[in-house]
Amino acid sequence: MSFPSVEDQLSVIKRGSVEIVPEKELVEKLKKSKKENKPLRIKLGCDPTRPDLHLGHSVILRKLRQFQDLGHHVILIIGDFTALIGDPTGQNKTRPSLTAAEIKKNALTYLDQAGKILDNEKTEIVYNSEWLGEMKFEDVILLSSKMTVARMIERDDFSKRYNNNETISLHEFLYPLAQGQDSVHLKSDVELGGTDQKFNLLVGRDLQKDAGQDPQICLMMPLLVGTDGSMKMSKSYDNYIGIDEPANDMYGKALSIPDELIYSYFELVTDVSIEELKSLKGRIEKDPRNTKHDLAFTITRMYHGEEAAKGARKHFEKTVINKDIPDDAPEFTFETGSTHRLLDIISDANLTSSNGETKRMMKQGGVSLDEEKIQDPNFEITFNDGDDMALKVGKRKFAKLKAI
């Protein structure tokens, strides 16, 4: 195949990246790759600790896809073995390890969702239990001898826990070594990771040097800030946009991000061209509202298609701007003269995950009946003949309540 020029490849590779270690070596690898017409081996490891992916995960997967589009060989490692250890990155305590059954189930879901971003036909998928699981105890001892305790304690999360007299289990020291051994086994040229993975990626370089290999380039991508505008995107912080979410929810959530995140979202999680990015900053300053709608449309189109994105925009305009109830809202009927607690109606309609969530939303003003906010969890409705009411729960869930 014919690779683009090194300059063109670099402009794509550097898009949104925080750090490339070392960039000069990457340039040399790209020159050699083009000269020999041989693709680089690009590695990304993922531990299937959670079965669902959000746009935060897509940042690194999109970078992997960009390498694919440039013609390089992409290797996605399912860390079924390292997940048994549990990556301590960013943790202030030892992370519980998963069972083999949990890992297998999560991995299947992960691959299905990652396939929405990667070209599956061009992706080599491997499981690191294939080589790490075959190591003998003497192999582990030999591997451990290649890293000092002092070097491990240099790692930010370890040093903080050590200085705070918090527990660090010995097996956690093995995680960076195991991840580095993946690089040795696969002879990777480039490894991708978030900024929180820098230490692990550099360990891979050291182990490759020790094995007589050309050390990999470490490319770090930023951690995507969530819809709240402050914390990294995470389900734990409820500030995420899931890549499997319905189109209407995806569109609405994308519109909820602060204006200052519009550009970074376009850069990190969308497929707009580098040329388009150049004109975005001016558009955002002049018209943030409509530019944010373009962002929401682009993200929704990428995961649901053009027609679904158009439908999501219409749904938003109808339900939020015009404050109408959508035509496809579910309808629930109640016998005339009967009395029901609104909390129970919402629960039976599965509009929230629990009564606790419903009570919280009521308290925060997130539940309304015919546009009147209901904050009393004991509020009751007595259905009279001809009653036809619009129930809204949160920003994007609706239902029609009718008396029969």
DSSP string, 92-105: SSPPPPPPHHHHHH
pTM of the complete model? 0.78
Give the largest Cα separation in the chain, rounded: 83
114 and 201 co-located in one domain? yes
* pLDDT band at residue 321 using 50, 70 and 90 as cut-offs: low
Mark which of 289, 321, 353 sits at the end of a domain.
Answer: 321
Task: Give the closest residue to 91 by CA, choosing from 179, 4, 155.
Answer: 155
For residue 92, pLDDT beyond 50? no
> Residue 208 carries which side chain, given as an amino acid letter?
Q
Cα 359 to Cα 295: distance, rounded to the nearest angstrom: 33
pLDDT at site 18: 97
Structure tokens at 115: 């396939």
Q: Which of 20-34, 141-155, 314-328, 348-362 has the lowest mean pLDDT?
A: 314-328
Task: Give the closest residue to 173 by CA, choosing from 187, 157, 191.
Answer: 157
* pLDDT band at residue 224 using 50, 70 and 90 as cut-offs: very high
CATH at residue 351: 3.10.290.10
Q: Please indicate, yes or no, if residue 112 is contained in any of the structural domains.
A: yes
pLDDT at site 218: 98
Could you tell me the residue range of the domain that residue 253 belongs to?
A: 235-321
The better pLDDT of the pair 335, 146 is held by 146
Annotated binding site for ATP: 235
Mean pLDDT of 385-404: 79
Annotated binding site: 235
State the Rg of the chain over Cα.
25
pLDDT at site 97: 64
72 and 168 co-located in one domain? yes
43 and 119 co-located in one domain? yes
Q: Which of 93-107, 146-160, 263-277 has the lowest mean pLDDT?
A: 93-107
Q: Please indicate, yes or no, if residue 326 is contained in any of the structural domains.
A: no
54 and 128 co-located in one domain? yes
> Highest mean pLDDT: which of 89-93, 240-244, 331-335, 339-343?
240-244
Q: How many domains does the chain have?
A: 3
Q: Please indicate, yes or no, if residue 227 is contained in any of the structural domains.
A: no
Our CA dihedral for 344, 350, 351, 353, rounded to 10 degrees, sits at: 90
Mean pLDDT of 359-385: 80
* Distances from the Cα of 249 to the Cα of 113, 116, 127, 243, 304, angstroms: 17, 18, 33, 10, 12
Cα 240 to Cα 224: distance, rounded to the nearest angstrom: 10
Mean pLDDT of 25-50: 93
- Alpha-helix residue ranges (DSSP H) falling in 147-305: 149-154, 156-163, 170-186, 198-210, 247-255, 262-269, 274-286, 288-304
- Residue range 291-307, pLDDT digits in tens: 999 999 999 999 999 99
> Residue 281 carries which side chain, given as an amino acid letter?
K
